[in-house]
């Protein structure tokens, strides 16, 4: 399943290699230098509800103990893998070997993503983990945030990249960006696998986004409902009968 590229109306897309990575000129770190257009708009693919593949007789959720619980597959394993490779190359192009990025994974949802993302990076990186909770309902954030697990090290002078599984309202991420900015990093960027543009409530500068998706209830690849479905290797739509 392939969605439509959100930048298709913004001009000619950069040439892609056989692995789906956007090509460019090689920089001093041996990684392709991407233009601002390539490193932002051309990274993001737009997925609509119409792109979802309904679950048929062969239910992929059943292989993980979730028979009859999913409505459709929104983004498949191969598509996720290809996009993560593109995102990793884009982030690497903005760094060099002497200043490796410090990846801050926001628990728990981003664990799957940060693991594959770090392995796809063609440059070294370091990992930190942070857990926050937002007051609100089970499916929406109020923006009032409490830290459950803080960083284990000082980030003064570091080039930080927050790794997010999904941006929904943007409220929690906005708070997190402000919080980390007070700790003296050299820079703070965000790489997000998924974003729901129609759900955004606050403007957040996200440098690297993999997919813009609809407001449907998505699970899998780290995303959960009641702590279930994180282990699915794809992003799927949860059947309405499971949460209504």
For residue 50, what are the contacts with CB-CB under 8 A and spacing of at least 6?
none
The residues, ordered by sequence, that sit 6+ positions from 231 with a Cβ below 8 Å of its Cβ are 64
Half-sphere exposure of 181 (CA within 13 A, CB side): 8
Instruction: Check if the beta carbon of residue 198 is closer than 8 Å to that of residue 171.
Output: no
**Catalytic residue at 19?**
no
Question: In the numeric block, which tokens belong to residue 190?
Answer: 């965000």
Q: Which residues pair with 16 in a beta bridge?
A: 22
The 3-state DSSP class for residue 190 equals strand
Q: Are 225 and 208 in contact (CB under 8 A)?
A: no
Structure tokens at 32: 């392709």
**Which residues have a Cβ under 8 Å from the Cβ of 240 and sit 6 or more positions away?**
71, 217
How far is Cα 45 from Cα 212, in angstroms, rounded to an integer? 6
Catalytic residue among 165, 168, 189, 212: 168
Q: CA angle, corner 188, sides to 182 and 193, nearest 5? A: 130
d(CA 55, CA 63): 13
Cα–Cα dist 120/162, whole Å: 16
Catalytic positions are: 168
């Amino acid at each position: 399943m392939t969605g439509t590229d959100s930048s298709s109306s913004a001009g000619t897309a950069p040439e892609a290699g056989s692995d789906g990575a956007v090509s460019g000129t090689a920089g001093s770190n041996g990684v392709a230098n991407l233009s601002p257009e390539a490193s932002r708009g051309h990274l993001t693919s737009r997925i609509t509800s119409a792109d979802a593949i309904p679950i048929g007789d062969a239910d992929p959720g059943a292989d993980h103990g979730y028979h009859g619980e999913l409505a459709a597959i929104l983004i498949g394993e191969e598509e996720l893998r290809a996009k993560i490779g593109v995102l990793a190359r884009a982030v690497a192009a903005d760094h060099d070997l002497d200043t490796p990025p410090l990846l801050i994974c926001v628990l728990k949802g981003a664990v799957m993503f940060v693991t594959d993302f770090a392995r796809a990076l063609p440059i070294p990186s370091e990992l930190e983990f942070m857990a926050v909770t937002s007051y609100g309902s089970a499916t929406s954030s109020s923006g009032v945030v409490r830290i459950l697990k803080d960083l284990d090290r000082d980030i003064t002078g570091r080039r930080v990249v927050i790794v997010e599984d999904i941006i929904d309202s943007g409220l929690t991420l906005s708070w997190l960006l402000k919080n980390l900015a007070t700790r003296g990093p050299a820079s703070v960027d965000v790489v997000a696998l998924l974003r729901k543009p129609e759900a955004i409530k606050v403007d957040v500068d996200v440098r690297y986004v993999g997919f813009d998706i609809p407001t449907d209830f998505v699970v899998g690849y780290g995303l959960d409902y009641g702590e279930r479905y994180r282990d699915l290797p794809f992003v799927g739509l949860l059947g309405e009968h499971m949460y209504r």
